[in-house]
């Protein structure tokens, strides 16, 4: 795809994000790639991959979703940031990004019920969520078959998980990351607490909107206390239906409006997050075969006064890029699939160079194919 040069648009206007001055608003979206080693540590390929995509100075990258603890998930090839080896390997990635004078935040992740009960069972780990509410009958049947049925986190486990997020944030900064992004989107653990469809609790973490967002706010406060608000971002998907989220009675603006109000309250008290990262409604289903929810993230600008990263199929719509990045001066745009296939995407967008088409078949395959072998324009 060939587009017009965007050099003279807001996409290439500098912006302050937390403690960092970015030179453009093209953000590498967090993209699970499953190329990590058996110890769930990034490899030398990851160093090359992130290095390629940070080549234009002043660009912000968000890492692939990174597990905060061994208990946070059962994906063998997903990275973690709890062990010494993982921290050491991430340090190489961050050093490479900094050589290019760009910035990188680690996305902190807990799968909750989106994990696999059999993989957890093999590790001696429990299958947990906000409640014992499965995504699908298939998940329930598998959990029963392997003897690792879904259960709700206990209060003590919630408190420990909050500590896990804070420790993972500290480990990320120790490794050299510029900041962390709390993954509160796409049907993973924090989203499972936020949304009523997956949260059936009757204690202080369930029921009312105030109770359902309590956990994520505790995580935010713990991470901010550990690394600073200006090195902390959060990702949310108000209209998302991936992972069994949403539901007929769901009111995103009420639920996430309250959450954003609480983040804004903290901002007014001197603890303003670096950014809020929103998944757009048009991509809320991700790869799920479901009908997209009609919605608009515009309400977030009324609730939250800081920078907002918007993520959602910008690779296919030039007019959409111009509309969203120009609509409000606080806006950045996250690119996923097009950044996979175009390691020099910021420069291509700036100059109007043709974009290479991505190959979906190699998104998660092992090795360099579809990972580090996409060409630059020159």
Helix, coil or strand: residue 234: strand
Residue 188 annotated to the active site: yes
Helix, coil or strand: residue 93: helix
* Residue 122: φ, ψ to 5°: -65, -25
Helix axis angle, 214-227 to 155-175, nearest 10°: 30
Measured torsion, CA atoms of residues 51, 357, 320, 103, in degrees rounded to the nearest 10 = 0
Token pair in block for residue 178 = 């510029």
**What percent of the chain is helix, strand and coil (3-state, nearest 5)?**
40, 15, 45
Which contiguous run of DSSP H or E holds residue 21? strand 20-22
Helix, coil or strand: residue 235: strand
Token pair in block for residue 149 = 């049925």
d(CA 296, CA 62): 23
Q: For residue 40, which of 127, 109, 114, 121 has the smallest C-alpha distance?
A: 109
Measured torsion, CA atoms of residues 331, 322, 6, 306, in degrees rounded to the nearest 10 = -10
Catalytic site residue from 50, 127, 165, 188: 188
Q: What is the distance in angstroms between the CA of the first residue and the CA of the last residue of the chain?
A: 16
Q: Are 374 and 342 in contact (CB under 8 A)?
A: yes
Residues that are catalytic: 188
């Amino acid at each position: 795809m060939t587009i017009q040069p965007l050099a003279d648009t807001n996409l290439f206007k500098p912006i302050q994000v937390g403690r960092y001055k970015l030179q453009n608003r093209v953000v590498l979206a967090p993209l699970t790639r499953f190329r990590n080693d058996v110890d769930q540590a990034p490899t030398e390929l990851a160093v090359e991959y992130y290095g390629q995509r940070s080549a234009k100075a002043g660009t912000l990258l968000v890492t692939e979703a990174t597990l905060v603890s061994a208990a946070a998930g059962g994906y063998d090839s997903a990275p973690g940031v709890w062990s010494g080896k993982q921290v050491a390997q991430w340090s190489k990635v961050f050093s490479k990004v900094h050589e290019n004078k760009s910035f990188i935040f680690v996305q902190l992740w807990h799968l909750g019920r989106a994990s696999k009960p059999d993989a957890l069972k093999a590790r001696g780990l429990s299958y947990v969520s906000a409640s014992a509410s499965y995504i699908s009958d298939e998940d329930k049947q598998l959990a029963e078959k392997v003897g690792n049925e879904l259960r709700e986190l206990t209060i003590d486990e919630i408190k420990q998980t909050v500590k896990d997020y804070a420790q993972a944030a500290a480990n990320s900064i120790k490794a050299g990351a510029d900041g962390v992004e709390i993954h509160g989107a796409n049907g993973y653990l924090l989203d499972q607490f936020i949304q009523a469809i997956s949260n059936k609790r009757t204690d202080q973490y369930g029921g009312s909107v105030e109770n359902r967002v309590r956990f994520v706010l505790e995580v935010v406060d713990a991470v901010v206390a550990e690394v600073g608000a200006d090195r902390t971002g959060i990702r949310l998907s108000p209209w998302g239906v991936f992972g069994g989220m949403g539901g007929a009675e769901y009111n995103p603006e009420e639920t996430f409006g309250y959450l954003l109000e609480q983040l804004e309250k903290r901002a007014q008290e001197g603890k303003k997050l670096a950014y809020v990262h929103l998944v757009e409604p048009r991509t809320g289903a991700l790869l799920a075969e479901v009908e997209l929810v009609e919605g608009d993230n515009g309400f977030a600008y009324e609730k939250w006064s800081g920078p907002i990263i918007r993520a959602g199929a910008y690779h296919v719509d030039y007019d959409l890029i111009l509309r969203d990045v120009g609509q409000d001066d606080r806006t950045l745009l996250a690119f996923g699939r097009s950044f996979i296939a175009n390691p020099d995407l910021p420069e291509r967008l700036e100059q109007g160079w043709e974009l290479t088409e991505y190959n979906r078949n190699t998104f998660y395959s092992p090795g360099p194919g579809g990972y580090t072998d996409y060409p630059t324009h020159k």
